[in-house]
Structure 1
Amino acid sequence: MTDCNQGTQRFDKMILISSKEFAEFSRYQKLLKESTSVNAFTKSDKTCLITSSNKWVIDSGASNHMTGNSNIFTSFQSHKAPSPVTVADGSTCNSDGYGTVKPTSTITLSSVLSLPKLAFNLISVSKVTRDLNCYISFFPDHCLFR
């Protein structure tokens, strides 16, 4: 684990997630490991799991923050052409743009990709720890951003 507080800034705020949210995250991680039998995406435009949830999954495998909920952007920039993004099961979904999102009153995420057919809102561990100059500790019923 890397301590990102080596710079001149120090962030002492902690963000907690409930045991229920952690259970949802754990269930999602299990689905990712079983992606051969459970797919959240299709290669056609017919069906995909879509959610308007404002809950976020903390994803250690994601290289970017992503959401399928276009209503949560505080600012948004459209791509000139759809941009394909490879998701966990190896399939692709098109990103129609990117922008800024505030998943909580104290966290602002920039360069969040908009993937209209994405079933989850994902926070990239590598991106959030780099952007917020912090580290994340995971526990059985919550996680801490420090």
Structure 2
Amino acid sequence: MVQKQKKVTQTEIVDPICLASRVEDACQDNCSCCCCGEMDVSSVPDDICKVFDDILVDNDDCKRVYVTIGLFTIVRLTRKVELLIPVVDFCIPRNECIQSTDSNPCELFDKLKFPVDEFFPPEKCHFDSIDSVSAGYGCGCGCGN
């Protein structure tokens, strides 16, 4: 008999990074961008729109602000299994950099080093403390240092 197991997801997010921003004049007669006329706010998730007390897009204004934000996230999916696997280390996925233009904010984001310490801060026992080791106290975490 197969039992369904409860899955638990956990998401960790580091503070967002502003990669690019610009202000454009939406009232130009020769404007060929998609922002002219009515701005489609349906592409903005409802949960984000609810955070703001005011309207998100004012179609009467001739200025538009565009912001590109980069996020580092780790999503964990955990559930009970019958196999116990000892975790020795974690691996960081390597991303493949793609050639891009100077106006592409993704190029900047691809060059950023993954913030490992934000998700996995160093343990106290990873630091060599000359005073405590020489005194024989160790760091107290059981690693022997």
| TM-score interval, smaller chain | under 0.3
Instruction: Choose between structure 1 and 2 for higher RCO, CA contacts under 8 A separated by at least 6 residues.
Output: 1
Bigger Rg, which one: 2
TM-score between both structures, scaled by the size of structure 2: 0.18
The structure that is strand-richer by fraction is 1
